[in-house]
Structure 1
Amino acid sequence: MALTLAQTAKNLSTDTLQAGVVETFARTSPVMELTPQMTVAGNSYQYNQEDTLPDVAFRDVGDGYEPSSGDVARKSETLSIIGGDVDVDKFVAQTLGNVNNQRAVQTNLKVKSLAKKYTQNFFKGDSSASPLEFDGLEKRVANNGNEIMAGTDGGNLSLIKLHELLDAVEGGAEVLFMSKAMRRELQKLLEQSTHYIQNGTDEFGRPVEYFGDVAIRTVEDDVLAFNETQGSATSAGSIYALRFGAQEAISGLTNGGIMVQDLGEIDSKPVYRTRIEFYCGLADFHPKAAARLGGITRSV
């Protein structure tokens, strides 16, 4: 079973350092919190994505069926490497307090930066432009033909388009990802209608809003900024709807999970070093597991 990072953190009670890093990853980004991470062998993963279904038919007594087969698209994902080293100078450790406290502070900052970088790649990654990245949702949704636009030249967010986005996710969307600025557009829209937002909590007990039974999760404005082009609109934004699931919908891929190594004091210079790495990728097992509503312009 593929676990999310939030679930993984709970299972790492014997490795306090790693558990703390994994939990910080999940707390920093809702993408990291919710995405199941499927463990794969080697540095790549091949799978079949559903394409077309086989035919079925009614038959009369004594008649036979016309045989048919469905089609699948063969896909391959290569794991990417994201990570960084955290160095704390011995002088800093000596003069500013306990070495573990200083390393913990710097490690926490590094993890937050890595979580933000992963989140950016989750939506905007493009391996053809940056070969070290994995392809993100924007490229995958476009390739799968599951994009909806607010208008030819952009347009304000509407409930009709929002429901069209949700309906585009086969099997039912679990979450809507958007920027904080886009959430304000949604809240403004709902104030003018009979729809309302419900409240719940996330994996860590923090408040989460729901549109119906679909969670609304926000990322930083610079991750999903109002800087996309749609026709003559050059300051448009997007909302993503998706369903998670290993081997059936959207899933992360990893070999080894988030790895944390305390290298101690290194020989080349007087610093204490911690290395954090994540061998990661993304798979869309179903072409309609994610959808994007793009071309959304600000209402003011």
Structure 2
Amino acid sequence: MPLLRDEAAKLSQDDMVRGIIEEFADKDDLFGILPFSPTTGKALVYNREKTLATGDWLDPNDEVKEGASTFDEVTTRLRILIGDVDVDKFIDGTMSDVNSQKAIQIASKVKGMRTQFRDALINGLQANKQFDGLNALVHANQVINVGGHDMAFSMFDELTDAIRLGANCVMMRSEHIRAYKAMLRLMGGNTGGLIQLPNFDRPILAHDGVPIIANDFIKKVDGKADIFAFHLDEHAGLHGLFASQHPAGFSIEDIGTVQNKDATRTRIKMYVGMALKSTHALAKLSGVKLPAAPAPIGG
């Protein structure tokens, strides 16, 4: 859909404050710690251990039996997230007195597509032409069903223990973050569980030294939501993928004049995927009860 004159007029007013007041939050702690690795092809293929070969205890002169380990071949495809922005040349030339029409539309488009990407990190499905997100990647043996019970510290012990390589992040909805803080306060303190990470400009909540980050793209179902833990690592853990000939993020391409109208077209695209090298690098608590909404002030 091209930039409409009515929308352009909102951005071109004599008394308008320069710039745009952002209404849609664009902050995601996961971006601060998720590693990305390049791949030269349209997919990354790797082998995951399936069974380990063992030896035998023998008496002298016993026959030695042969045994080999087996592996599963795993393929993770890159997916395409792409969109165009058309800006009428007349509007861009006459209504960019306060705010650049083209620059604002490109920035807003990138922001909207970034939101799509963040949702896919959790809920993506290859069937929807996306890459598989955490819900699809987590192995059934790594799902801990808590049956809708209230949050407890023991749940986090079990969750982080499930990450055999060592959990380096726990992720949950902001409501669960507040519930975790409430549990800390009941113990007589509210700062003991905080740590400082190099990629953040503020203290981060932690469980036994494992940072806890918020992600509200985790879906709520019947007053419950999942909580994830993972090991981030390009070699054996969870990490993002990008095409080696393109940037690890959105690229912006000037297509030029649209053939059938007096407008310029800009294309925003990203070739991206996500890989889980070891199934033991990801686990989740399924169906943790969300805290009740607080009563309205004065109510």
TM-score by structure 1 length? 0.76
Trace 1:1-300 onto structure 2 (pairs within 5 A). 28-55=27-54, 68-97=67-96, 101-128=100-127, 130=128, 132-143=129-140, 145-151=141-147, 154-193=148-187, 196-201=192-197, 203=199, 205-219=201-215, 221=216, 223-227=217-221, 234-255=222-243, 256=246, 257-258=248-249, 259-300=251-292
Q: Distance in 1 between matches of 2:99 and 2:253?
A: 14
Q: 1:168 to 1:273 in 2, by over 3 A?
A: same
The answer to whether the 8 A contact 2:47-2:71 is kept is: yes
How far 1:253 moved relative to its partner? 1.8
The answer to whether the 8 A contact 2:156-2:207 is kept is: no
Greater shift in the superposed pair: 107-116 or 186-195 = 186-195
Q: 1:28 to 1:50 in 2, by over 3 A?
A: farther
In our comparison, the structure showing a higher alpha carbon Rg is 2
Greater shift in the superposed pair: 281-290 or 59-68 = 59-68
What is the aligned residue count?
261
Q: Distance in 2 between matches of 1:182 and 1:283?
A: 26
Greater shift in the superposed pair: 116-125 or 100-109 = 100-109
Q: CA RMSD in A?
A: 2.9
Runs of 5+ consecutive residues of structure 2 not aligned to the other structure: 1-25, 293-299
SS at match of 1:103: helix
Identity, in percent, stands at 27
How far 1:291 moved relative to its partner? 0.6
Amino acid at match of 1:139: A
Instruction: Please give the per-residue CA displacement for 1:175-220, whole angstroms capped at 9, x wherever unaligned.
Output: 112222221122122222367321424536355333332222212x
The answer to whether the 8 A contact 1:200-1:208 is kept is: yes
Instruction: Please give the per-residue CA displacement for 1:89-148, whole angstroms capped at 9, x wherever unaligned.
Output: 3344234326983333222222222222112111112224x2x112111122144x2011
Q: Distance in 2 between matches of 1:124 and 1:91?
A: 41
Q: 1:140 to 1:267 in 2, by over 3 A?
A: same
The answer to whether the 8 A contact 2:39-2:242 is kept is: yes
Runs of 5+ consecutive residues of structure 1 not aligned to the other structure: 1-26, 228-233
Q: Distance in 2 between matches of 1:189 and 1:66?
A: 55
SS at match of 1:156: coil
Q: Distance in 2 between matches of 1:92 and 1:208?
A: 45
Amino acid at match of 2:287: G
TM-score by structure 2 length? 0.76
Amino acid at match of 2:204: V
